Amino acid sequence: MRAVLTWKETCAEKCVYDLAFKPDGSQLIVAAGLRVLVYDAADGNLIQPLKGHKDIVYCVAYAKDGKRFASGSADKSIIIWTSKLEGILKYIHNDSIQCVAYNPVTHQLASCSSGDFGLWSPEQKSVNKHKVSSKITCCGWTNDGQYLALGMMNGVVSIRNKNGEEKVKIERPGGSSSPIWSIAWNPSKDEHNDILAVADWGQKLSFYQLSGNQSNKGKTLTYDPCCVSYFSKGEYIVMGGSDRQASLYTKDGVLLGTIGEQNAWVSTCRVKPDSNFVVLGCQDGTIVCYQLIFSTVHGLYKDRYAYRENMTDVIVQHLITEQKARIKCHELVKKIAIYRNRLAIQLPEKIHIYELESDDTSDMHYRSKERIYRKFECNLLVVCSQHIIVCQEKRLQCLSFTGSKEKEWVMESLIRYIKVIGGPPAREGLLVGLKNGAILKIFVDNPLPITLLKLSASVRCLDMSASRNKLAVVDEQNTLLVYDINSKELLFQEPNANSVAWNTQCEDMLCFSGNGYLNIKASNFPVHQQKMKGFVVGYNGSKIFCLHVYSMSAVDVPQSAPMYQYLERKMFKEAYQIACLGVTDSDWRDLATEALEGLDFDTAKKAFIRIRDLRYLELINSIEERKKRGENDNELFLADVCAYQGKFHEAAKLYKHTGHESRALSMYTDLRMFDYAKEFVGATDPKSSRILMTKQADWAKSSKEPRAAAEMYLSAGEHLKAIDIIGEHGWADMLIDIARKLDKAEREPLAKCAFHFKRLKHHGYASETYSKMGDLKALVHLHVETRHWEEAFSLVEKHPQFKYDVFVPYAQWLAENDRFEEAQKAFHKAGRQNEAVKVLEQLTHNAVVENRFNDAGYYYWMLSMQCLDIVRENEEQRDEMLKKFERFQHLAELYHVYRSIQRYTDEPFSSHMPETLFNICRFLLNNLTKDVPPGISKVNTLYALAKQSQRLGAYKLARYSYEKLQELHIPSRFQESIELGSLTIRSKPFHDSEDLIEGMMCYRCSTHNPLLNNQGSVCINCRQPFIYSASSYEVLPLVQFYLEEGISDEEALSLIDLEAPHTNQNDAQLQDKDNGQLQALRIGDGLDDEEEDPFTAKMSFEQGGTNFVPVKVSRSVLRSMSRRDVLIKRWPRPLKWEYFRSLLPDVSITMCPTCFKMFHSEDYELLVLQHNCCPYCRRPIDEPN
């Protein structure tokens, strides 16, 4: 540290009591005599003396915002001045004013007198004053403006809040014998606690925290201190007093040096804000300004840089990793030296040697190794692995770490530069430059120095290349000289250099700095320059270590310029070595490209690997493979390289030159340069032109110009590709034009057109295209897919072979749309009987589950008819299907009749007459002798029968029904009604109505049958089955007869149609004729004995037999029958026709020609009018039979 005098002034008044800087540092306010003096802080010129006080001015203070300052005087007054040097306010205390201080935050002014202190702020009208027990000598606010410290004559420090209340009282050991003369708060923002420096006349400097605790032991002084002042950042303290000089201390009180000796006591001192300027005021009226210059104390070895901070600390910085280690020495650091794992620090009374804890290159932990307790006066300090080298002017001393002198060298001239250049431990070499221009090499273990060179000018800086073959010197004239050490030849020289460094990784590269530029020189190429402030001190790979003022930085310098210099001379391997030190990605690419063009594939490959360019690496790899296979045409390799680089015309020329025109053509087409390709091919080759056209179309397609691509494909005759593009984009007009122009033999393009029409839902165009192709199957499928059923059906009419293709999907479509009955018919039409049966079975099941018994009956009837269709198609299933037919017919009739019962029990009103319901219940119960089908309730049936029997007078039957109901589980809704019915029926006679019993007469044997028959719907006497009306379920006057063997249905029909004449029977009466065991039923005249009816004779049967004896008729009987009296059920194959003879021709009976159910004609006509179809099979009345 050096103190340089900046200016000095002496004021007429004898003593300078106080100083204050304006916060921007432009003005200095001085309290001297009766006046306040304002000086220019830069040059010390007096700007203006301010008058206002009547007695000596003791103190001045400037507000932090720079708008006003205050002065305090022995006349007990305070004057507030503006920055324009005008007095604006004055207030007084009871005693002379000793000190003033502005709050740095609120700009509140504290003014202290001998007996009290006051707090004033601009917004207040009055000054708040507080009494104190002792004279106040000094005061100061904390950085945050919350607390005010008062130093007193009795040795006490009182810390007050903004309201003047005492918060902390620091009573010091010396008491009133150690009056406090100056205090100052550390302004540093980095400190965790507010630190107060206290200087007292017990000759001590102490430090306290805001809490009142002492922060360190304090320092004993050799003089009475009058003033304490911190630097703006709080790192240093300036103090002056009775020793007639100002001294510089660290913030912890470590003495660093003297600033300037004076002729009188230094009564006040202040540091200019944010600068290194210090102003002192003395008792003899002298005002003096010094600039403090802090020299850089540092050392560098490769990427480790050690430097001094805050004068007492050493920071070791790793320039690559940016790690730092701090070593606190607590004394002034005078010199630093660093080498490998050693660090030497010279302090005022000793040298401290440290070593790294480990061999790790990134380790930053140093431990103490040795201490040499001696005071050294030296200019330069160097450390080696086992020695300390101390340089004092001409003398070099080599000391061991214990402090013993091992060797000494005395030079012929002053030593200007010294550097360790490496070597084995204890045998390191030193490079020494002298003022007379001599350059020497000294080995630590050799007493004789070796002269390397003798220059004419003084040496300023030295460095040796990595291989020790070249020496770079900067002389006093700022000239850089580079010599070959072995031959002593000057290799080159460069002007404007102040420092130089060789690259530690590359023999031929060095850098030097000067005139604000960094210069990089490789080999004997021209120098590359770039702007840079500071000095070059090291060069490692691509990093240049630069010292600017006090900071060392590692600058990343791309080695681009020297690399390009090597490239220009096609020195690819050397350029690669330079690039390895550090260049940008674009430089690597340039190196790789140049090497590739120069056919140095090895260098190019390594460079492309660096930038991870797989494309070029593949190219190099393929060229190397081809070389291994014996290819050695460098022109062809170069053509490939040019093509990869985008130099297509050069590549084409090279391809042509080497006889590979096809490669050039495929290159142009791959790149879509069709015009160049056509130019290259010329008009002579039509085949190549056509291929080009196709490739151009391919490109147009991929580059999203589909219309152009389609047109090009059509021109090239590539119809399929054109159709694909047009179809994809939905241009139906363009597509139909193509379809119409194509020949019908070109089936594949036409099929593609049709496919796209279908996809685009242009069914008309698709139909036209399929018709042109004659593809009927595809046409049928089109109509089916588009649900154009009418067109499909018309096609099937002309071409029945497609029946299956149409009706099956039609049936599926109907089923999907819940039109199951139509679907069943369609399956039937398509010949898919199994599907038809499945649909019907599902429909039947659903109808039963949902209690739609009418529908269930209808579906069972349809199922039975389906079984007949299956038998006709598949004779193998005959027996199974015929059994199913019988079962389904039976179930159809049961469900058909149960619908009426279900409606009666579940609905409030019934449309049936009681007689009809009565007949239906009896019919159902007669037929429910075996299992009861799902959905049919015996309870409901018996309940309905009981109710109707009671109503019609069949009391015996009603009682039977109620008794049967008691055996069954009765729903709660019928419980009450049934119990009531069971009771009321007991009041009725125990027999049935005669009329009802007569209604159950057998028309074959005239036997009266019971109302309920456990043998089923047959006569209990002759076993003849009853024929019921399908509406009222009354027994019809019909008897079924059978044909004798050998009579066919057709013959029987023709015989019946003959209608042979016979006598009219006016009155019919029944007669029993005893003919042995045979009981015959006769229809006689009654008046005269005429010829018997042959059929009546045939109805006779053997009495007492348990088996049913059918009525069989011969040809003669058939001939005697009238067509009006005969009803024929003409069942389809394989069933036989069934014949019935009406015994009461006057009773009109109608039979449905589809389901062959018999009705009373009046009932049938009424039902048909109601439903517009047969009530049983639902055949529409207008449908032809």
Collapsed DSSP state (helix, strand, coil) of residue 745? coil
Average pLDDT along the chain: 82
A 10 A CB-CB count for 630 gives 6
C-alpha 443/C-alpha 422 separation (Å) is 10
Residues sharing a CB contact under 8 Å with residue 914, sequence separation 6 or more, in sequence order: 948, 951, 952
pLDDT of residue 1063: 42
Write the pLDDT tens digit of every residue in 962-983: 888 888 888 888 888 888 888 8
Give the helix/strand (H/E) hosting 521. Answer: strand 517-522
User: What Cα–Cα distance (Å) separates residue 393 from each residue in 338, 400, 435, 918?
Assistant: 21, 20, 10, 149
- 0.85 surpassed by pTM: no
Contact between 393 and 412 under an 8 Å Cβ cutoff? The reply is no
Q: Label residue 187 by pLDDT band (50, 70, 90).
A: very high
Tokens at 901, concatenated: 């019962």
For the stretch 851-885, what's the b/e string if a residue is b when 16 or more beta carbons lie within 10 angstroms of its beta carbon? ebbbbbbbbbbbbbbbbbbbbeeeeeeeeebeebb
User: What Cα–Cα distance (Å) separates residue 732 from each residue in 566, 736, 774, 1127?
Assistant: 65, 6, 21, 65
pLDDT of residue 1002: 86
- What DSSP string runs through 79-135? EEEETTS-EEEEEE-SS-EEEEEE-TTT-PEEEEESSEEEEE-TT-SS-EEEE-SS-
Identify the burial level of 57 via C-beta atoms within 10 angstroms of its C-beta, where 0-12 means exposed, 13-18 middle and 19 or more buried.
buried
User: What Cα–Cα distance (Å) separates residue 17 from each residue in 71, 245, 549, 742, 952?
Assistant: 11, 16, 36, 117, 146
Contact between 835 and 811 under an 8 Å Cβ cutoff? The reply is yes
If we measure between CA atoms, which residue out of 462, 409, 410, 467 comes closest to residue 437?
462
Tokens at 1076, concatenated: 């042995």
Q: Label residue 745 by pLDDT band (50, 70, 90).
A: low
Contact between 202 and 177 under an 8 Å Cβ cutoff? The reply is yes
pLDDT of residue 1069: 34
The percentage of the chain sitting over the pLDDT mark of 90, rounded to a whole number, equals 33
pLDDT score of 45 more than 90: yes
Residue 523 backbone zone (phi > 0: left; psi -120 to 50: alpha; other: beta) = left
Q: How far is CA 388 from the centre of its chain?
A: 63
pLDDT of residue 207: 94
Strands (DSSP E) along 166-312, which ranges?
A: 166-171, 180-185, 195-200, 204-209, 219-220, 225-230, 236-241, 245-250, 255-261, 266-271, 277-282, 286-293, 298-301, 304-309
Give the helix/strand (H/E) hosting 838. Answer: helix 833-849
Least confident stretch, 514-518, 963-967, 994-998, 1175-1179:
994-998
pLDDT of residue 825: 56
Write the pLDDT tens digit of every residue in 1098-1143: 676 655 566 788 888 888 888 888 888 899 998 888 888 899 999 8
Identify the burial level of 556 via C-beta atoms within 10 angstroms of its C-beta, where 0-12 means exposed, 13-18 middle and 19 or more buried.
exposed
Q: Label residue 268 by pLDDT band (50, 70, 90).
A: very high
C-alpha 511/C-alpha 495 separation (Å) is 13
C-alpha 709/C-alpha 242 separation (Å) is 103
Tokens at 15, concatenated: 């003593």
pLDDT score of 688 more than 60: no
Give backbone dihedrals phi and psi of 877, rounded to 5 degrees, phi first.
-95, 15
Write the pLDDT tens digit of every residue in 61-118: 999 999 999 999 999 999 999 999 999 999 999 999 999 999 999 889 999 999 999 9
Tokens 């005893």 label which residue? 1074
If we measure between CA atoms, which residue out of 1098, 1091, 1085, 1099 comes closest to residue 1060?
1091
**Start-to-end C-alpha separation, the chain:** 134
pLDDT of residue 1087: 33
The percentage of the chain sitting over the pLDDT mark of 70, rounded to a whole number, equals 80
Contact between 389 and 400 under an 8 Å Cβ cutoff? The reply is no
Task: Please work out, in degrees rounded to the nearest 5, the angle formed at the alpha carbon of residue 1081 by the alpha carbons of 1075 and 1087.
Answer: 95
C-alpha 167/C-alpha 159 separation (Å) is 6
Amino acid present at 204: K
- What DSSP string runs through 427-495? --EEEEEETTSEEEEEETT-SS-EEEEE-SS-EEEEEE-TTS-EEEEEETTS-EEEEETTT--EEEEES
Tokens 């010197």 label which residue? 473
pLDDT of residue 1084: 32
Write the pLDDT tens digit of every residue in 343-380: 999 999 999 999 999 888 888 899 999 999 989 888 89
Write the pLDDT tens digit of every residue in 1010-1030: 888 878 888 888 888 989 998
Collapsed DSSP state (helix, strand, coil) of residue 639? helix
The beta-carbon contacts of 160-167 under 8 Å, at least 24 apart in sequence, are: 160/130, 162/103, 162/106, 162/108, 162/119, 163/119, 163/128, 164/117, 164/119, 164/128, 164/130
pLDDT score of 892 more than 50: yes
Q: Label residue 731 by pLDDT band (50, 70, 90).
A: low
Identify the burial level of 68 via C-beta atoms within 10 angstroms of its C-beta, where 0-12 means exposed, 13-18 middle and 19 or more buried.
buried
Number of residues that this document lists for the chain: 1185
A 10 A CB-CB count for 317 gives 22
Provide mean pLDDT across the span 1058-1073. 44
Side-chain-side CA neighbours of 1146 within 13 Å: the count stands at 4
Q: Label residue 1066 by pLDDT band (50, 70, 90).
A: very low
pLDDT score of 762 more than 50: yes
If we measure between CA atoms, which residue out of 904, 894, 895 comes closest to residue 943?
904
pLDDT of residue 83: 93
pLDDT of residue 415: 92
pLDDT of residue 597: 84
For the stretch 355-366, what's the b/e string if a residue is b when 16 or more beta carbons lie within 10 angstroms of its beta carbon? ebeeeeeeebeb
pLDDT score of 822 more than 80: no
A 10 A CB-CB count for 704 gives 7
If we measure between CA atoms, which residue out of 342, 329, 412 comes closest to residue 381?
342
Task: Please work out, in degrees rounded to the nearest 5, the angle formed at the alpha carbon of residue 327 by the alpha carbons of 322 and 332.
Answer: 120
Q: Label residue 1080 by pLDDT band (50, 70, 90).
A: very low
Contact between 585 and 611 under an 8 Å Cβ cutoff? The reply is yes
Q: Label residue 1085 by pLDDT band (50, 70, 90).
A: very low
pLDDT of residue 1067: 37
